[in-house]
Structure 1
Amino acid sequence: MASTTHQPKTGVLIVNLGTPDNPKTPAVRRYLREFLMDGRVIDIPYIPRFLLVNGIISTFRAPKSAKEYQKLWTEEGSPIKIYGFEVEKLLQEALGDNFIVSLGMRYQNPSVQVALDRLKNKGLERIIVIPLFPQYASATSGSVHQKVMELVKKWQIVPDIHFVQSFFDYPEFVHAFAEIGKKYLKEAEYDHVLFSYHGLPERQIRKGDHTGSCLKEAAANPYLEGQANCCATLHSHNRGCYRAQCFATTRLLAQALELKDDQVTTCFQSRLGRDPWLKPYTEDTIKELAQKGKKRVLAFSPAFVADCLETTIEVGEEYKEVFEEAGGEHWQLVESLNSNPLWIGCLKAIVLQNAQLQPKVLESRSTTVEE
């Protein structure tokens, strides 16, 4: 006898940062303007933000960024979009007919609006929103959450909406990234393993701190050890802190890769402007490693799930030059998850857990949290 159990229809909205429509200067300028005018990305009042972005950054940075995007571009287009559509297709196949998977980009195309329109009027009982950023930050996941709420509030019927805040500590995520890295560690020996995360202004981290203790040690030792101490463990007070989550990601990956503490370093890239950003800075760290005699370095970018300008060009090429100029001999970037089957399995696990179709793995996700 056939089962009469009702299986709710669930929408799955996956959202990545975005990309210009093409690598030419006008398209790059449009992308930069939309991206940097987001008040969660550049968190200053509207008028100075408007003048900064439209009068200075997009004017002078767009031509330079266009040249970098041209290095990254393929015949099929931007890698982040290519992998995005592949993930959308593969995840849909993995989840089956009871789910509708839709890809959106926070900036440019396909927009979050277009992605949500695919889910609208489908009679969905819930939508699971997964910003494709492993660690939560207001400027990334928080911006996606805000955009979705702004759009969905206009719907006549709003389904149950569940936002995934972060997934850096899902066992499937750690396993997927570690397995990609292991092939390089098996092929050759490395003197050090670097984990480079996208940077943020320190003020954004402090804004999200309800305890008043975030980065306090930085006043005594602003370069490395003082700041590292406040993120040495992940606990109830810093659980939502981007920097603390990045250090926790490194610890989880180092454990999966069977690396010792003195074999790994966590650092932060892509700083912009004169205000202090999260430290230690990747470029400074690379130079120090070379000066200390580290000749072979393996580099991870665990804040990105798809290869893009910040991984392929910045970490893979620009930092390689910095390392070699400082005396290093071999620099190897570990590629992102892209459309790896293990990544699809990770996303499926995230969806099923948040759809309450399988028990939450509390034991696995609580190993990095200390009360």
Structure 2
Amino acid sequence: MKYRSVPCDASVLSPSKTGVLLVNLGTPDAPDTPSLRRYLAEFLSDPRVIELPRLLWKIILHGIVLRTRPAKSARAYQSVWTDDGSPLLAISKQQQHAIKNALGADVPVALGMRYGNPSVSHALRELQQQKIDRLIVLPLYPQYSGPTTGSVFDAVTEELRTWRYVPEIHFIQNYMMEPRYISALSNSIQEHIQTYGLPQKLLFSYHGMPQRYADAGDPYYQLCVRTTQLIEAQLGLDEGICMTTFQSRFGKEEWLKPYTDITLEHLPAQGFKHIAIVSPAFSADCLETLEELAVENRDLFMESGGEQYHYIAALNDRADHMEALVHLLKIYLR
């Protein structure tokens, strides 16, 4: 095997140089069917995401899913695409810029997407060219799960195992317990309440996951519930106001419950006509928040008899969010 390297010089004897790798889920290159087919093929081929026998899933993926889903997904992406491209990538770049400015010129900060571009490998090779000997990996998923954070670990180690000189690594597994992160989320919700009033129900909608993954030991469900509890306590809200739900399920098997869309469909009949919804699992707004939560689920709620529906934006590059992530990174800097 040929290992990737950069020329060795006296810098290896100098004080250590730390690089930061930020990773988010990813995005297609364009909101069209061919781009979505490539993106979904990479995403849905990850065994962390789809835990089915490989041959069986390959037949389903290429025989059914990639023949039907890309066109539908392309239409959804077209509804949220901006002049700067994918919202997720544009916001992630803003976060990268803010973190880099806060950490200073001596700490290179690279951005990689787990699926699509810029890839994790591309971002790591940027850092390699700057001759880092320490690496901090921050997956931008507050709550750990195998299909997200675990998959980032796989991608990082897959690239690093091809390097001749492997840096010291600090992999941040999750940060949902970080007080500054909880404060940033609480601040965003409190600001919303000050503007629109206290909703009858405040839904904390997290990205879904098959129930069998949790049954097999993935801690994601417990981490999501704990996140809701921490924010609820910080805001001093009545326990009956807050609900933890799960969105974006795929396929016919059972996923984590309660489901966000089913919950929204039933709430008006139970007398809850004014709701607000926030998605703490997403560090940046993306298709699942801007289209699914802000539009699709709003329509579902209003058509079911709701009267007020508000989506509270992801933390994105809010100053308090960036301060929370910078504080987290500085723990591992030296």
TM band (smaller chain): over 0.9
Measure, in 2, the Cα distance between the counterparts of 1:123 and 1:66: 39
Instruction: Using the TM superposition, give the Cα deviation of residue 282 of structure 1 relative to its aligned residue in structure 2, in angstroms.
Output: 0.8
Listed one character per residue, the Cα deviations across residues 75-101 of structure 1 (whole Å, up to 9, x for unaligned) are 111110101111111111100123110
Instruction: Using the TM superposition, give the Cα deviation of residue 60 of structure 1 relative to its aligned residue in structure 2, in angstroms.
Output: 0.5
Alignment of 1:298 with 2:276, yes or no, is: yes
Which one of the candidate residues 196, 206, 213 is aligned to 1:197? Answer: 206
Listed one character per residue, the Cα deviations across residues 292-339 of structure 1 (whole Å, up to 9, x for unaligned) are 111110100001011011101111111111111111111100001111
Which one of the candidate residues 184, 199, 219 is aligned to 1:176? Answer: 184
| Other-structure match for 1:46 | 54
Q: Give the aligned length.
A: 320
Within 5 Å, which residues of 2 pair with 1:101-116? 101-116=109-124
Counterpart of 1:146, as a letter, is D
Instruction: Using the TM superposition, give the Cα deviation of residue 45 of structure 1 relative to its aligned residue in structure 2, in angstroms.
Output: 1.6
Instruction: Using the TM superposition, give the Cα deviation of residue 257 of structure 1 relative to its aligned residue in structure 2, in angstroms.
Output: 2.0
Q: Structure 1 segments of 4 or more deviating over 3 A?
A: none
Return 199-208 or 74-83, whichever deviates more: 199-208
| Other-structure match for 1:326 | 304
Within 5 Å, which residues of 2 pair with 1:1-371? 8-189=16-197, 190-208=199-217, 241-355=219-333, 357=334
> Are the aligned partners of 1:269 and 1:283 in contact in 2 as well (CA < 8 Å)?
yes
Unaligned 5+ residue runs, structure 2? Answer: 1-13
Instruction: Using the TM superposition, give the Cα deviation of residue 121 of structure 1 relative to its aligned residue in structure 2, in angstroms.
Output: 4.1
Listed one character per residue, the Cα deviations across residues 48-91 of structure 1 (whole Å, up to 9, x for unaligned) are 12112221112101111100000010111111010111111111
Counterpart of 2:108, as a letter, is I
Instruction: Using the TM superposition, give the Cα deviation of residue 196 of structure 1 relative to its aligned residue in structure 2, in angstroms.
Output: 0.4
> Are the aligned partners of 1:8 and 1:98 in contact in 2 as well (CA < 8 Å)?
no
Instruction: Using the TM superposition, give the Cα deviation of residue 197 of structure 1 relative to its aligned residue in structure 2, in angstroms.
Output: 0.4
Return 55-64 or 11-20, whichever deviates more: 55-64
> Are the aligned partners of 1:193 and 1:298 in contact in 2 as well (CA < 8 Å)?
yes
SS in 2 for 1:120: helix
Listed one character per residue, the Cα deviations across residues 115-174 of structure 1 (whole Å, up to 9, x for unaligned) are 001111433231011111110010000000011001101111101011111011111111
Counterpart of 2:251, as a letter, is G
Instruction: Using the TM superposition, give the Cα deviation of residue 31 of structure 1 relative to its aligned residue in structure 2, in angstroms.
Output: 0.6
Listed one character per residue, the Cα deviations across residues 256-301 of structure 1 (whole Å, up to 9, x for unaligned) are 2221110100010111111110011111211222111111101000
Counterpart of 1:111, as a letter, is S
Measure, in 1, the Cα distance between the counterparts of 2:262 and 2:92: 32
Q: CA RMSD in A?
A: 1.2
Unaligned 5+ residue runs, structure 1? Answer: 1-5, 210-240, 358-371
Return 171-180 or 135-144, whichever deviates more: 171-180
